[in-house]
Structure 1
């Protein structure tokens, strides 16, 4: 499965429409890919808190429609990263997977909201958490969805495994000062849960915060299949989701779990 991770650097000085147009153009450049993945909150910036409420959109808003058009033109499944979704009076950090036909295939509202960077105006003060794990019945097999700070909570990933996940799509706006944790935890989730992990991070600078990049793809045995630089980059990786079952059969550690 040809996979393209678009490790975007969001320019918050650009109008939102220009950011969306640029991202859609990059998706269209990935013709021939089976799966295209973008980072967390690239339309508004993972640390662009002040602009979130004004930029929030419903699921059928202009950002999702623009990315759906790009997915249709590209002929690929597109995990468009996440955006700030407005649902009535509530806002969510919502990930969206689009099919090659442009239709919404799966959504996931981030469960673990990050507030350590700025508790008074970070995610917990602005957003509502999602209700729980999501496993998408993808053409290549059951695929779990997770977002950034979720990575620090292993119980979520065990819940995804219990729901049948064989692959994990993880999108993030992970900052540079903790990028070593990002790389370590992505590998740990792949090994301990025997998952193929496709992890797309953001790059660049958002105000005073530098994003770390280093998107990576790790298989269920922990082998690294590709890793990006700290800068904006398109990382292309060929992966075999079916290999996960072989790892689980050869080394059935999940069968020996005692606590659930």
Structure 2
């Protein structure tokens, strides 16, 4: 599997509309990839709270119910289809039918069809910003793609290992984490990305934005980590494309060679274990 992480420079001098068009073009340029990943809230900026309401949009559903595509969903679906790639389109500000805002990730298939959405469970802000403006998701989300299963999480979720263990228990072998992580906590970003890979014996694709918006410098340094915790690729601080060849069978080999997960005694029960 060939994966490309697009570390987008989120600059508020660029309009949301212009950035949407530019990012769609970047996705189309990745036609040699199998999976493309974008950062968190790249269309507005993860800390641009003042823009959330103005740029909130509906999100399609996977249950067959008709729903209008918002402009970002529409652009990303078309780009995925043109490039013939699986696209994790990062996250956008979703406006639910009842008016609640969510930080919602979207996954599209190579035909442009919408597959799944994930509403961020752990909201950042400590009683301000995202933590008070947005609703919290409550669903563990995985997506089956050829040769592997993707587990979905977003940015601040990275600090909560129980979410990733639940994703692993649900079959995830590749953990995708779009983020708008601040530069001042970059060491945490690298450390936690590697930790989630090691403890779950899974690939981690951690895609962060670059640039500065709302006065918050972004960490960049997107990462691809293998199931043993080795960093296969790491970005710098500017906009760039990080492309890596992954071996999906490495997950099974790592878990077989070092079967630590079967020795777990405390915590969440396995779905296939009964009292």
Give TM-score scaled by structure 1 length: 0.97
| Partner Cα distance (2:9, 2:139) in 1 | 29
Partner of 2:270: none
Partner of 2:183: 176
Matches within 5 A, 1:99-114: 99-114=109-124
| Partner Cα distance (2:133, 2:146) in 1 | 35
Segments of structure 2 that go 5 or more residues without pairing to the other structure are 60-68, 268-275
Deviation at 1:169, TM superposition (A): 0.8
1:242 to 237, 249, 252: 249
| Partner Cα distance (2:46, 2:174) in 1 | 24
Deviation at 1:207, TM superposition (A): 2.4
Deviation at 1:53, TM superposition (A): 0.4
| Partner Cα distance (1:180, 1:5) in 2 | 19
Deviation at 1:246, TM superposition (A): 0.4
Q: Is residue 191 of structure 1 aligned with residue 201 of structure 2?
A: no
| Partner Cα distance (1:128, 1:13) in 2 | 28
Name the SS for the 2:149 alignment partner.
Answer: strand
Name the SS for the 1:221 alignment partner.
Answer: coil
1:159 to 152, 155, 166: 166
| Partner Cα distance (1:159, 1:42) in 2 | 27
Deviation at 1:10, TM superposition (A): 1.1
Partner of 1:251: 258
2:93 to 84, 91, 102: 84
Q: Deviations over 1:9-30 (max 9, x none)?
A: 1122222211100100111111
1:66 to 64, 68, 75: 75
Segments of structure 1 that go 5 or more residues without pairing to the other structure are none
4+ residue runs of structure 1 moved beyond 4 angstroms?
A: none
What is the RMSD computed on CA atoms of the aligned residues? 0.9
Deviation at 1:254, TM superposition (A): 0.1
| Partner Cα distance (1:8, 1:28) in 2 | 14
1:225 to 215, 223, 232: 232
Name the SS for the 2:42 alignment partner.
Answer: coil
Deviation at 1:161, TM superposition (A): 1.1
1:150 to 136, 139, 157: 157
| Partner Cα distance (1:212, 1:167) in 2 | 22
| Partner Cα distance (1:160, 1:153) in 2 | 12
Count of paired positions: 257
Deviation at 1:132, TM superposition (A): 2.4
Partner of 1:94: 104
Q: Deviations over 1:103-144 (max 9, x none)?
A: 11221000000014xx33x11111001112111122222210
Deviation at 1:176, TM superposition (A): 0.1
| Partner Cα distance (1:130, 1:223) in 2 | 31
| Partner Cα distance (2:25, 2:11) in 1 | 16
Partner of 2:5: 5
Give TM-score scaled by structure 2 length: 0.92
